[in-house]
Structure 1
Amino acid sequence: MPKLTKYQRRITWSTGIGFILERMDAMFMSLALASIIITLHISKAQGGLLPAITAIGSIFGGIGFGALADRYGRVKTLCWTIIIYAIGTAGMGLTNSFWMLCLFRIIIGVGNSGEYGIAITMLSEAFSKKYLGRLSAAAGVCGQVGSIVASLLSAFILPRFGWHVLFFIGIIPVVLAWFIRFHLPESKEFTENRDAIEKDPNRDFSHWTELFATPAECFLTIRIMIMFMIHIAGYNGLISWLPSIAQERMNISVAGSSLWMIATIIGMSLGIMCFGIVQDHLGSRLAYGIWLLAAAASVFLLIIAQNKLEFLIGGGIVGFCSDGMYSGYGTIVSKLYPTEIRATANNTIMSIAKSVGSFSTVLIGFLMDHFSLMAVILFLSGIYLVSFVIMLSIKELKHENKAPVTTTENAEKVAQ
């Protein structure tokens, strides 16, 4: 890989800090969930609603900010979203009301909705596509660093100061992200495309409905969306409830479960890096085939484990297999969709998928309340197998490094 330019380094830092923020929020919510349930005297199903309801803000923010990023710029849009995110995070530390927590989770969802899709789009426009799998993976590992930092902070803060202080601490990286992105220029690819659209009266900025404009585009978009939805359902289910499972099944303390999560996160980091390398060298179809089947099998380790050491090792393996694919979805979308709709595609697909997939925490909370842990494991294994079958049906992945699919307007030009 060639030496990075100053612009590429800044884009890499910007993307990395965005992924750190996204995963820190998810981890704070996960590790504070048990304390919030006790403090507010709510059920596990209600507790599962807190991380899940973030999706309401995410779906509207994702679609809207994706279109804004394609029209006004990726950097400007991310600077707007980070301010909204800061407001929601601060609000989490100020209230003891369950319904106010729900409101602030929705605000966080709006602010956080642009991080994954727009950040990956910026990477894809700053680097050659042949490096995109590894670069996306590196950004994903940054997210896991955020998870580790969040776990360590939770282990120290939760037993001593409570979950309100924990969320106040989450504002610090938000300020850092804003300063990194301030004055960051837009990519040459984006500015040239925007200028061309503004000069041509026959062209207009893309709209999210173009993702569904033809049967082929609609079918492609929906399948990628379902795959990412399943990934989010599995990740959120594991990351939100595994600390509680560890606390109950292995009699681990809150601080102990935070430290135990680090082993799982390290496994996730290794999985993401390995997946990125395989995706770049062997293609997305083979990479996803390996990881999805491994994820479906590995979740049973959480049932097989009989002591703390086995549970620790099993958690690392599950993390490696279940979350290794995370950054790969943005790579696929960035390769298969053209510049004029790339941010819209990434954000729309990812936000809708995250919104639906996030409600797995409610379903898993219900399964834990009314059934056994085996029911949860069967559910997780089953959805990974469904994703595997869907992935095999996406024939476009066989030619992912060729020209991206065209929008309806481009298709008409080709036909002429």
Structure 2
Amino acid sequence: MNSLTDRAAGARHRTPLNRSQIAGFWGAWAGWTLDGMDSFIYALVLTPALTELLPNSGYAATPANVGLAGSILFALFLVGWGLSFIWGPLADRFGRTKVLAGTIFTFAIFTGLSATAHNVWELGIYRFIAGVGIGGEWALAGTYVAEAWPEDRRKMGAGYLQTGYYAGFFLAAALNYTVGVHYGWRAMFLTGAVPVVCAILILLRVKEPEKWSKTEAQATRTKPLREILGPAYRRRTWVACALLTIAIIGLWAGAVYEPSAVIQLATRAGMAKPEAIKMASIATGLLSIATIIGCLALPPLAERIGRKKTLAIYFAGMAVSIVGAFGWAFYLPNGLAPFIAWLVVLGFFGGNFALFSLWLPEQFETRVRATAFAFCTSFGRFVGAGVNFLLGAAVLNMHTLGVPVAITAVVFVIGLFIIPFAPETKGEVLPQ
């Protein structure tokens, strides 16, 4: 009884946040929201954009060519994400907030430029460079919140931060439902460049986390990339890389292919093309809301049962829901409603990304934290690029979307066997 009372009292007397911590969080959250919006805009406008640009590039806009070109361009985008590890050492050397602002500026400018593309080659270049910016935002935002927020609040801060990415999905779906339907794919890309100025202004006025400032003042210059791959950190670095790779493959399987699957199911159910596109936007909104709930539910669960058990639950949920949605509901005669129901389940367990925002900073010291976070996320994106290309080829050869995506559930089963090799950091403070 006393322990329950103590816990309740602790919940009521959390360390208050100062103005810089609050402004920094909202700046990071806004950047992460725009990051999610930018990522999902591509999935929503893929077909109309390539239908217009392929003929300008000398290729017929057949469904097969649209699918193959879309997969290649998306793989290029993911390679850009992978190259984003360059931001980590910069942040460990020059600070979190200014480098974070640089990542946001990069992806905003080149997302806006995507609206001016005249052919698929130009679009590919713009999406590649936007990917470099987008890929760095999560690592730096997660590092900033972990270091800037008080110890008794940073764990929920990770959950709050992660909701931004899926709020971006929801925002992209809302924009597609309104702007995209009426003004087309170019207007959708332009929206990715409009609100980011506010996030940059906030981040440039935010103080660096005290933990980084102290480490910077005391540090002798080290090579953080060499250190995280050295004897002290090697095992946890590669285990984190493997687990993040699995999560990223699942993200694209569950989210990027979802609009196309819903449009196909809606068309099969007799809906006209505009109604089918709107249904895809509604389904994306439901997926986003469910994922936000999953992000918020994760930190308390991780505090109660530990990081490794929590990730195992979320990975198992991802495996089951991907098979349920793409392997079963997608092939039902009237599969639209069951597919969307499974999407809600998939969305909830897609909140597993919040664990990495909480867990990765706990595994590395301040002097190498941003480099480690960026390296682990970038590694997963490189592998994800290859898997995405293989998925596109499988869809083309099998003439179906469901089975190739459903097969990706296997990676989450593999992940269950990798989780035991990761360190358990429940109850530990953020290392200095």
Output the TM-score relative to the length of structure 1. 0.90
Offset at residue 181 of structure 1 (A): 0.9
The number of residues matched between the two structures is: 396
Give the unaligned 5+ runs of structure 2: 1-10, 55-60
How far residue 320 of structure 1 moved from its aligned partner, in angstroms, is 1.0
**Which of 201, 210, 215 is the aligned partner of 1:188?**
210
Indicate conservation of the 8 Å contact 2:50/2:120, yes or no: no
Change (3 A) 1:166 1:374: closer
Please identify runs of 4+ aligned residues in structure 1 that moved more than 3 A. 128-133, 399-406
Q: Matches of residues 331-342 of structure 1 in structure 2 within 5 Å?
A: 331-342=358-369
Which residue of 229, 232, 235 corresponds with 2:251? 235
Contact (CA 8 Å) 2:35, 2:165: kept in 1 or not?
Answer: yes
1:8-407 map, 5 Å: 8-39=21-52, 40=54, 41=61, 42-60=65-83, 62-197=84-219, 203-214=220-231, 217-251=233-267, 253-302=276-325, 303-305=327-329, 306-321=334-349, 323-371=350-398, 372-394=400-422, 396-397=423-424, 399-402=425-428
CA separation in 1, counterparts of 2:154 and 2:310? Answer: 14
* Residue 164 of structure 1: how far off its partner (Å): 0.8
One-letter amino acid of the counterpart of residue 361, structure 1: N
1:20 and 1:142 in contact (8 A); partners too: yes
Given that 2:162 and 2:357 are in contact with CA atoms closer than 8 Å, whether structure 1 keeps it comes out as no
AA aligned opposite 1:150 = A
How far has the Cα of 1:403 moved from its partner? Answer: 6.6
Does the CA-based 8 Å contact 2:159-2:358 persist in structure 1? no
Cα deviation, residue 276, structure 1: 2.1
* Deviation for aligned residue 1:82: 2.3
The percent of aligned pairs where both chains have the same amino acid is 22
Amino acid at match of 2:199: A
Letter in 2 for 1:383: V
Asked if structure 1 preserves the Cα contact closer than 8 Å seen for 2:254 and 2:322, the reply is no
1:133–1:328 contact (8 Å) kept in structure 2: no
| Greater mean deviation of Cα atoms: 378-387 or 43-52 | 43-52
Q: CA deviation at 1:207?
A: 2.3
CA RMSD of aligned residues (A): 1.9
Query: Does the CA contact (< 8 Å) of 2:112 and 2:193 recur in 1?
Result: yes
Aligned with 1:213: secondary structure? coil
Note the alpha carbon deviations across 1:34-55, whole angstroms, 9 max, x for none.
2223222233122022222122
**Cα distance, 1:50–1:129 mapped onto 2, change above 3 Å:** farther
> Partners of 1:259 and 1:378 in 2: how far apart?
22
Q: Distance in 2 between matches of 1:123 and 1:83?
A: 19
Deviations 1:207-251, CA, capped at 9 Å, x for gaps? 21211111x622221111111111111111222111111111332
Deviations 1:295-346 (A, max 9, x none): 111112214334332222111111112x111121132210010011111111
TM-score (norm 2): 0.87
Superposed displacement of residue 102, structure 1: 1.0
| CA distance in structure 1 between the aligned counterparts of 2:316 and 2:152, rounded to whole angstroms | 25
Choose 365-374 or 102-111, whichever is displaced more. 365-374
